[in-house]
Amino acid sequence: VRKLATKAELSRGDFAILLYWLFPEIRYGASGSARIANDVLEHPQRESIVRVVNSGILEVDPSLHRFEPYRSIRRSEALAAMLRLLDREEPPLACLGGGPIPRSTQALCAVGVACGQLESEADCLPAAPVSGAEALELCRITQELLGVG
């Protein structure tokens, strides 16, 4: 985790590894439906990635069965993952608006602001890459919202 925190840009695999180690409910919880991601079979951290994928936090391309562990993770993907973690909370958090996690980046950014994960929608930059430090801060805020720590 410390090594990943220093990276200027995280890959999807890196982000999955952070989630695996920072959120015990992913590491120890029951996984959801099994999803096959062909491109993680040879990845050195495949067990961590598969656990995150099967928890439903990060998505796999349903038609190609690819996770793309070496592709940079975009801010919109990281934010959506954090919101999916929050969406599991009972009772549901009011900031999520009572519906499913939005797919549009504009709505995703608005929910991120409502939940306090972003200061403003202008800070969202949905297509931008995520650094290790930014990912850790997003995880910290999410853990606070979950009452962890």
- Does residue 8 have a pLDDT over 70? yes
Rg (CA), the chain: 14
Helix residue ranges per DSSP H, the chain: 2-5, 12-22, 24-28, 46-54, 75-86, 105-114, 132-146
- Dihedral sign, Cα of residue 13, residue 19, residue 25, residue 27: positive
126: tokens are: 């949905």
Give per-residue pLDDT as tens, 13-22: 999 999 999 9
Structure tokens at 50: 């598969």
Cis peptide before 91 (omega within 30 of 0): yes
Which tens digit of pLDDT belongs to each residue from 41-89? 888 898 899 899 988 899 888 888 899 999 999 999 999 999 999 998 8
Looking at 26-35, 121-130, 137-146, which range is the least confident one?
Answer: 26-35
What share of the chain has pLDDT > 90, as a percent?
59
Rounded Cα distance, 103 and 126, in Å: 12
